[in-house]
Chain A
Amino acid sequence: MTLDLLPPGQAARIVAIDWPALVEEEARRLRALGLDHGAKVSVSHRGVFGGRDPIALSIGRMTVAVRRAHAAAMKVEIL
């Protein structure tokens, strides 16, 4: 399952990231924020006005906003 499909509140672990699918600068920024192989994440908020973008992720004690396209590049396993 990819991260964009994870139901809100469900804890998961990133098991693989399709780095080539991301713009290089953005990939580096995501990694700097801790969104890397092995990280524990959950989706805390999702979209406004019923849309699916953007997504707010909980990672550690941080909340990080990303687009669905970023989350779609990350494979997760449910914990």
Chain B
Amino acid sequence: MSRPRKIALVGNPNAGKSALFNALTGARQKIANYPGVTVERKSGRMVLPSGEPVEMTDLPGSYSLDPTSPDEEVTAKVIRGEFPGEAAPDALIVVLDASNLEQHLVFAQEIIALGKPTVVALNMVDLAERDGLVLDPALLEQELGIKVIPTVAVRRRGLTELAEAVAGAELRHPGPGLTALTMTERRVAAHAMAEGAILSESKRHRLHARLDRLLLHPWIGPLILFAFLFVVFQAVFAWAAPFADALEAGVGLLTNAVTDVIPPSLARDLLTDGILAGVGAVVVFLPQIVILFAFILAMEASGYMARAAFLMDRTMAAVGLSGRSFIPLLSSFACAIPGIMATRSITDPKDRLTTILIAPLMTCSARLPVYAVIIAAFIPRRSVGLGIGLQGLVLFVLYVAGIVGAMVVALILRRSVTKGAASGFIMELPKYQLPNAKDLAIGLWQRAWIFLRRAGTIIFTVTVVLWLLLNFPRAHEGQNQVDASIAGRLAGGLAVVVEPIGFNRDMALALIPAMAAREVAVSSLATTYAVAASDDENAQAMALGDQLKAHWTLPMALAFLAWFVFAPQCMSTIAVTRRETNGWKWPAFMLAYLFGLAYAFAGVTYWSAVALGL
């Protein structure tokens, strides 16, 4: 049997391509990378009305087949069948934003001129109607010479018609009028076509213009942005708490069940102290990560993310970057990997490199578990007034410390290793849209799944290895198990290095596996204290927070937090940096400077706290 036919979605950025892709393929999507580049490849299966299964790909949004970014280059090459290892699509769906025809028809003509089987999805017709636009798809069809199907992806309008049209689309010999046009000629043609297709247009005040007057206001706009970001961070802590408590209780029940069923043995200890304590300590942070991603995805889907970039451009320009870096950096709050991958939309190479190098300074969600455990254990849960909790405030300060650090580092880098002309900022501000619940759910599920898969693989493996290192060789009578273990001895060596910054051996021990994934610091602390306490029934019953309070002082805890603001990034980040920068030079540089910063700041924090008598 031959392979299923391949259909690609192509169009300008902000044409609603991803929503259409989600509507056509549902949640059965595969997200990977195009080989050799870090441009995301999204594909999914879809069954045409005829019963024929096809492979649907969502190509990166482009303005032209003459690329100005790695994203656009992938789109251009895939469409022309020039991308190595990637079969050319058999048919194309050009996605147009119905309320921005004049602009989107320029690229559409370029695609149609290729002569491939092509249909047009006239997308978001509902929003065009909201703006008072009445369109005539038949006229557009006549002008373009191919089928034009009005669609509303989020309401599933026009999807069957679109699938039928693409199934029947045939190779064409485009008329001589379309093939050899220049960009300017296409623009003139697009203008005429758009004018013709618009039957009526009311001068209604457009919603987004009114919203922009407020959200892009020179003074109010930034204040709203900061207030919003502050709410996000408070929400991450407050809203997630009941879910996290429930998960924690679940892990506790499971641990008790295992203890009841399996007789005391080393194998039972591996299950309870190793796997359940370690993996469980990380999985309880799923609610916080989901909430953070929900905000980021909603900001992207609503169009507010681009406004945030606009508002931040001047600040970013002060350190030699542009508002474009704001989106990758904001994504890095969830995880540095998608953040670093998102830098491909930055056209200037030096800008891009700088953004990659500072991305790990944005506090990723993997560090949230570390912060959360330490804050919950050492910072009292009380209000500092105005409904602001002290714990949330400390968390906010940690995030701000990372941001300020990143800005200072960017400023220094732009004057030294990534010296060059300051770059510009050119960006389309898309229309505001109410985020679609289903698209958000698909995005959240994909993120949550990645996190759980990490918990099930990397974190699981690291936890088990650490448990083994902590339990062998076995301690003699009267000797502490952690002291006797291989891990304890390794950490003893490392402790000499980190002692000047106030770290004890258990903290040094947590730093080693944290290189694999930062949230493992929590699970390894949990495992370490579970192993150390396994001879003492009372100590074993203590929650991790109480264990920490028993073993650490406040200055130590603060130094540990400071370390993680700058801590050298996890191995996956190093790997993605190597791939993005084509070599080991920059990941090595990143590792070195972050280690230096983390060491210095943890030390400063520790000794300041000690001096202040905390």
Contacts and interface: CB of A to CB of B under 8 A. Distances in A.
Contacts of B183: 31-32
B66 A28 contact: yes
Nearest to B206: A61
A32 B208 CA distance: 23
Contact of A65 (B100, B221, B310): B310
A31 B106 CA distance: 11
Q: Which of B63, B322, B424, B428 has the most chain A CB atoms closer than 10 A to its own CB?
A: B424
B63 A29 contact: yes
Contact of A48 (B63, B306, B314): B314
Given A26-B424, A29-B68, A46 B218 contact: yes
Contacts of B423: 23
A65 B314 contact: no
Contacts of B219: 48-50
B347 A26 contact: yes
Contact of A44 (B103, B212, B218): B212
Interface residues of B, number: 40
A65 B425 contact: yes
B141 interface: no
B313 A61 contact: no
Contacts of B103: 33-34, 60-62
A77 to B, nearest CB: 19
B68 A34 contact: no
B426 A70 contact: yes
B102 interface: yes
Given A23-B424, A65-B323, A66-B426, A53 B187 contact: no
B425 to A, nearest CB: 5
Interface string A4-46: 0000000000000000000101101111111011000000111
Interface in B321-349: 322-323, 347-348
Contacts of A31: 183
A48 B425 CA distance: 14
B317 interface: yes
B187 A45 contact: no
A69 interface: yes
Contacts of A29: 63, 68, 347, 426
A45 B426 contact: no
A64 to B, nearest CB: 5
A34 B424 CA distance: 17
Nearest to A69: B424
A29 B402 CA distance: 32
A53 B427 contact: no
A45 B421 CA distance: 26
Interface in B391-444: 421, 423-429
A44 B90 CA distance: 42
B429 A65 contact: yes
Contacts of B429: 56, 62-65
Interface size class of A (residues with CB under 8 A): 20 to 34
B75 interface: no
Interface string B92-105: 00000001101100
A63 B425 contact: no
B216 interface: yes
Given A33-B63, A48-B218, A60-B103, A54 B310 contact: yes
Contacts of A51: 218, 314
A62 B212 contact: no
A49 B68 contact: no
Nearest to A31: B183
A36 B313 contact: no
A33 B221 CA distance: 25
A62 B303 CA distance: 13
Most chain A beta carbons < 10 A, residue from B184, B209, B313, B421:
B313
A33 B314 contact: no
A67 B313 CA distance: 9
Given A61-B102, A62-B100, A64-B426, A54 B323 contact: yes
Contact of B314 (A44, A54, A61): A54
B224 to A, nearest CB: 11
Contact of A33 (B218, B317, B348, B428): B428
Nearest to A64: B428
B218 A47 contact: yes
Contacts of A23: 421, 423-424
Contacts of B310: 45, 48, 54, 56, 65
A51 B222 CA distance: 13
B133 to A, nearest CB: 9
B66 A50 contact: no
A45 B429 CA distance: 12
Contact of B187 (A26, A36, A67): A36
A36 B208 CA distance: 24
B63 A32 contact: yes
B209 A44 contact: yes
Contacts of B347: 25-26, 29
Give the interface centre of A25, A31, A32, A53 by most chain B CB atoms within 10 Å. A32
B311 interface: yes
B64 interface: yes
Contacts of B311: 48
Contacts of A25: 68, 347-348
A51 to B, nearest CB: 5
Interface in B272-330: 306, 309-311, 313-314, 317, 322-323
A70 B102 contact: no
Contacts of A65: 306, 309-310, 313, 323, 425-429
Contact of B218 (A30, A49, A62, A67): A49
Given A50-B218, A65-B323, A33 B209 contact: no
Given A60-B102, A61-B102, 10 more contacts: A29-B63, A46-B218, A48-B311, A48-B313, A56-B310, A60-B103, A62-B429, A64-B427, A64-B429, A65-B425
Interface of A: 23, 25-26, 28-34, 36-37, 44-51, 53-54, 56, 60-67, 69-70
26 contacts: A23-B424, A25-B347, A29-B68, A34-B106, A44-B212, A45-B218, A45-B310, A48-B221, A48-B310, A48-B313, A48-B314, A51-B218, A54-B314, A54-B425, A56-B212, A56-B310, A60-B100, A60-B102, A61-B103, A62-B103, A63-B428, A64-B429, A65-B306, A67-B317, A67-B426, A69-B424
